[in-house]
Amino acid sequence: MAPSIVIDPGHGGYDSGAQFEGRKEKDDVLRLALAVGELLKERGYTVYYTRTTDTYDSPLEKARIANETNGDYFISFHRNSSPRPNTYQGVESLVYEENEVVNAIANGINRQLEQVGIENLGIEERPGLVVLRRTKREENTISFDDLTVDMGSRKVYRGGEKINLTPKEYALLEVLITHRNLALSREKLISMVWTYDYEGDTRTVDVHIQQLRQKLGLKDRIKTIYKVGYRLEL
Ligand SMILES: [Zn+2]
């Protein structure tokens, strides 16, 4: 059977998304999403939508709606804009985590659009985005030392006891785990864990790393890489 696809037209209702001279992202992406959905249905795919009208749901609510379907894949449509003309161009696919299947889909989308003249800006990992983070993925639990990290329920246990992490601390931990044994720069961590246009400084990363080291006893596991950033050694 063909896989089923959940399409999320970004924003909606009082959340217009990006705007340019009266034109609103929420309207553009809804039209695009419905058109793409029709094409997919014609080709035999089952399509679900998080919205088909101009309604608002928070990203968290959208993830919940998506999780209630039997969708195999989740894709959210967005369209950037800026008051300064020609700031944004091209197509970019943001993914929770790069892997063979995800990259095949994202590259497929990017390359098809490239063929009709749209610049291909590639794939970027953005596990900090709520709709990507909170849509269900295959269950995945990892244990090391006295820690168990359940990436399905997003809970962390130390010696059997649940440890309370802030959402950002948890997101940072998950990024370190999925990229274990790799050095990650502070800038890379910011772009992956914090939101799309976060403009805080990189010391925020240091503070969160300190918290993880302390709360989870990871002093020896999370290495500081001089002049670069951090690496979780497992
Ligand atoms: Zn958007």
| Segments making up each domain of the chain, as ranges | 4-133, 141-232
Which tokens go with 46? Answer: 């089952």
Q: Is the pTM of this model over 0.85?
A: no
Give the distance (Å) from ligand 1 centre to CA of residue 230.
30
Q: Give the architecture-level CATH label for domain 141-232.
A: Orthogonal Bundle (1.10)
Higher-pLDDT residue of 27 and 129 is: 27
For residue 198, pLDDT beyond 80: no
Give the distance (Å) from ligand 1 centre to CA of residue 113.
18
195's CB contacts (< 8 A; 6+ apart) are 128, 129
For residue 196, pLDDT beyond 60: no
> Distance between CA 81 and CA 74 in Å, rounded?
23
Give the distance (Å) from ligand 1 centre to CA of residue 17.
5
Give the distance (Å) from ligand 1 centre to CA of residue 78.
4
DSSP secondary structure, 87-128, as one string: S--SEEEEESS--HHHHHHHHHHHHHHHHTT--EEEEEE-TT
**What is the longest distance spanned by two Cα atoms in the chain?**
56
Q: For the domain bounded by 4-133, which CATH number is listed?
A: 3.40.630.40
Cα–Cα distances (Å) from 164 to 129, 149, 223, in that order, read: 21, 12, 22
Q: Which residues are within 5 Å of ligand 1 (an ion), measured at CB?
A: 10, 17, 78
pLDDT digits (tens, 9 = 90+) for 28-59: 999 999 999 999 999 999 999 999 999 999 99
133 sits in which H/E element: helix 130-133
For residue 212, pLDDT beyond 80: yes
> Distance between CA 169 and CA 114 in Å, rounded?
37
pLDDT digits (tens, 9 = 90+) for 134-170: 887 655 788 899 999 988 778 899 988 999 999 899 9
Give the distance (Å) from ligand 1 centre to CA of residue 189.
21
